[in-house]
Chain A
């Protein structure tokens, strides 16, 4: 039985410009996966941005040294397709009965299409939102899974006026995204507008019932002598039967080294 909990997918990723890949997401995750970091594929920075991946592979210079940013083409001039990238990785996981596997993206800028073993899922717009996909039913029986993600830039990357300015032409303000990426005060315009899988990707294994977003709150009385901890959580039963659960909360304080007060 696979151990419950989170496994972060932060290594082994490949990336390629979408216009240089002639395969579909279904092909990439079934019959024609990339074999390694050979053109047009390169080692990817995940979490990170497209520009971060290009810098990592020395395709472009680091924009934060000297005036190097001026040598990198801006999305306004290149078009959105130039910074639309495929990201690809694999993971090995075999589940036993009643286990579920969630594919979690903690943040993507700005929207994406996810392909896992030939199946397509769409991640809707929004830079500051989590996505959690239950992919239990589309895992490969042999445990080898192929994952490809096509990441699209913000809808309104805007243009940078010659004189610069706060937030360029302000177009980025139309999206729910970072607004400094068109340039700000001392900040140079970010050429890809931070497009990418910019925060943690993980797989998460649970049994039939999952804990979702617990909320902890404390209240204080009598000059902080009498204190209460209030804990609320959402529980999701993914099974087809009534789940009889024992729900436990335990609070401990590490006093010193490995000594805990329970």
Chain B
């Protein structure tokens, strides 16, 4: 059930997008945030063999089965999270980046993120004035069960506030911003620790960027189950 091989023909010099028939799992081990259970990670390997050549490429990734929901509570104005249907009390740390000279090493990520887990945190927020964190950061968040709140690169202080008042329209090149955002999403989207994308820090991005991000990141209609469609909760992820 967890091994499939399919035949695909790809025209010369072309790219195609291929979707495997869905793989069925009965009661898989779920990925849980720190303090709620184990961080079960499955190894997913995709390989492509070409007739007359042999193995042409291979890709692997650790994948965690988990469902993360969040919405703004109308009573408190706070964002509430559920993981695998269970409400979770978020205890978070704020993350700028591991080093201002970008001396980003696996060892440092491992140490810093394990430290957050040892402090009984279950979420790290990556501030919009810093980086979209790197796959090595997310790897250790997957391992140690830290949910990640990842912001894009918009902040009020250089995008609309300050003295003199900064440009509220965000970076000059909006197309470049979206290109970078889309590429970053593709880089990070398979990590189970990735919980929430946010437009920026203390600021809503300019309308065209905000609308594009919201549109690109909304749940694909194929994955909205009838169970979810019946709910009236706004912002269900």
Contacts and interface: CB of A to CB of B under 8 A. Distances in A.
Contact of A224 (B27, B167, B176, B180): B27
B13 A237 contact: yes
Contacts of A65: none
A216 B44 contact: yes
B119 interface: no
Interface in A157-177: 165-167, 170, 172-177
Contacts of B128: 179
Contacts of A52: 101-103
Interface residues of B, number: 99
Interface residues of A, number: 91
B26 to A, nearest CB: 7
A215 B127 CA distance: 25
B48 A216 contact: no
A165 B14 CA distance: 50
A238 B57 CA distance: 12
A246 B48 contact: yes
Interface stretch (A13-21, A35-43, A83-91, A203-211): A203-211
Interface in B126-168: 127-132, 134, 153, 155, 157-159, 161-164, 166-167
A29 interface: no
Contact of B46 (A174, A214, A226): A214
A208 to B, nearest CB: 6
Please name the 5 residue pairs, one residue from A and one from B, whose CB atoms are nearest each other, closest first.
A207-B56, A173-B158, A170-B166, A166-B157, A167-B158
Given A176-B173, A216-B63, 20 more contacts: A125-B173, A128-B153, A167-B129, A173-B171, A176-B176, A207-B56, A207-B57, A214-B59, A226-B24, A237-B12, A237-B16, A238-B13, A239-B13, A246-B48, A247-B46, A248-B45, A249-B4, A250-B3, A251-B43, A262-B3
